[in-house]
Amino acid sequence: MLSRYGTDENGELIKKAIVYTKSEHFISKDKIDPDALQIINRLHDLGFIAYIVGGAVRDLIIGNTPKDFDIVTNATPSKIKKIFRNSRIIGRRFRLVHVVFGTKIFEVSTFRSIAEGSVGNNFGTIDEDVLRRDFTINALYYDPLQEQVIDYVGGMRDIKKHILRPVIDIDKIFVEDPVRMLRAIKYSATTHAKMSFSLRHKIRQSAILLSQISPSRLTEEMLKIINSGHAFEIVKEALDTDLYMYLQPAATAMIYNDKNAEKSYMENIAKLDELVKNDSNVRLGKKLYFLVYDFIKSLTDWSKEVQGQYSSYELYTKTWTECRNFVLPMNPQRKELEYAIKSVLSSFGVKIKTNKPKEPKPKDSKQK
């Protein structure tokens, strides 16, 4: 085990971080995407510092293969853009670079400063950047060239002890970015990292802050949950911490009003996970099926509706409106929600035509 040193405000030498070597972290380079390694090698060759950071390092230490590899460097976005022709700068406030290899996108960010807190937009140093990270298990930096993990905040220890501990002060972390509460329950559910009583209490106390978050960002977070393969555990945590009412308020109300509804809803979430684990590339509409099934079932007696006065198209359009409101504030692609609704209705015997029936053309009033 090595140490990294720096100086304090008075210029005194102090230990800043623990450095874990290959024999201590056991990360296998075989699990690192070769294109991520190529990006880091290219930056190093040009004199820049670059690391794999965040959840990817956590997953590598645990022994899992990361889905995404985020990279952090001291190169500015404009310099990164010049180095990689296959890249584009994104973001209005704090700019990031997406380096594209085919269908893969690697997010490359510049070290950020803490001059404006954990959500400021100034560039900084690695010593500052680590203090902007949400939880210690996501605040590790991996240098694949030296094969070293750099730990400023005790993240390695917390991974081994399965503890979820904030890096940012608990009175600021959720105020500065309420979405961190969703990340907390996701990490707790997927890594089995335990939240302290004070952290869980703070999340419940701060849940209302999610009402400030835009529907587009909540949609993004909800889709991550749906696609995770761990939706059951995450939704269970979200219900327990009062967060789910801001992700899916109508579903939460349905669950709170009826224990049987909760049981059925969670059973469908479990089926969603099974679907994703069997085929991670399955279309979104098939996943949304499990979120809207119980709601559509509760709308009416479908056996009677099939024999009733309304056409299948009319039944669909009425259901579409109800369902669209049910999933708010989530706003998935229309065609995917349509697919889910039609699939559920089909299971109830409502056969949906592809297009709206054409109205008959008016007859020519002139007699020939």
Q: What is the DSSP string of 156-221?
A: HHHHHHTEE-BSS-TTTHHHH-THHHHHHHHHHHHH-PEEPHHHHHHHHHHGGGGGGS-HHHHHHH
What whole-number distance in Å separates Cα of residue 359 and Cα of residue 349? Answer: 24
What are the structure tokens assigned to 69, written together? 């590899």
Amino acid at 355: N
**Is 68 an active-site residue?**
yes
Task: Provide φ and ψ at 11, rounded to 5°.
Answer: 85, 10
From the list 168, 172, 177, 159, the residue with the least C-alpha distance to 55 is 159
What are the structure tokens assigned to 246, written together? 């801001």
**Is 70 an active-site residue?**
yes
What whole-number distance in Å separates Cα of residue 231 and Cα of residue 255? Answer: 16
Count of CB atoms situated within 10 Å of the CB of 331: 15
Q: What is the DSSP string of 261-321?
A: HHHHHHHHHHHHHHHHHH-TT--HHHHHHHHHHHHHHHHS-HHHHHTSSS-HHHHHHHHHH
Of the residues 33, 59, 70, 294, only one is catalytic, namely 70
Count of CB atoms situated within 10 Å of the CB of 242: 17
Of the residues 35, 68, 127, 258, only one is catalytic, namely 68
From the list 42, 41, 40, 43, the residue with the least C-alpha distance to 56 is 40
User: What Å distances lie between residue 232 and 39, 91, 120, 229, 254, CA to CA?
Assistant: 36, 32, 34, 8, 17
Of the residues 33, 59, 129, 134, only one is catalytic, namely 134
Catalytic residues: 68, 70, 134
